[in-house]
């Protein structure tokens, strides 16, 4: 059973636009919902994370929206920049740790 479904697989956004990546999960035991950013040839880095007691968290241009009833959380990148071009993974944590399939984001100048 696939525990985590991430979409879209790839995304192309114009500079200054909004990038939205979604993550749907099955396991209701997840209690920590992070997004990781990975550049080619590097390990992932924690970008932003949320706990289920809040519905939204914002850090600079990055926002997580969390919908507990729908078992979904999303990453919004405002004013997307070429430097944001990377692969993004959701990786909810509970009694186990699952990585989403990844979203390749390309921000074109």
Question: Footprint of other proteins on this chain (CB under 8 A)?
Answer: 32, 34, 36, 41-46, 49, 89, 91, 93, 97, 99-102, 104
Residue 28 contacts by C-beta under 8 Å, 6 or more apart in sequence?
71
Nearer to other proteins, 17 or 26 (CB): 26
What is the closest distance, in whole angstroms, from the C-beta atom of residue 30 to other proteins in the complex? 11
Which pairing describes strands 19-25 and 4-7: parallel, antiparallel, or unpaired? antiparallel
H-assigned helices in the chain = none
Question: What is residue 82's three-state secondary structure?
Answer: helix
Rounded to whole angstroms, the Cα distance separating 42 from 93 reads 22
Shortest distance, CB of residue 46 to other proteins, whole angstroms? 5
Between 6 and 74, name the residue whose CB sits nearer to other proteins: 6
Nearer to other proteins, 17 or 22 (CB): 22
């Amino acid at each position: 059973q696939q525990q985590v479904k991430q979409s879209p697989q790839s995304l192309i956004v114009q500079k200054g636009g909004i990038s939205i990546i979604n993550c749907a999960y099955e396991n209701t035991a997840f209690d920590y919902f992070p997004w990781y950013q990975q550049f080619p040839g590097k390990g992932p880095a924690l970008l932003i994370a949320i706990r289920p007691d809040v519905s939204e968290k914002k850090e600079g241009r990055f926002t997580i929206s969390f919908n507990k009833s729908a078992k979904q959380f999303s990453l919004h990148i405002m004013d997307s920049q070429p430097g944001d071009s990377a692969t993004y993974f959701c990786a909810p944590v509970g009694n186990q740790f699952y990585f989403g399939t990844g979203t390749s984001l390309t921000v074109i100048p």
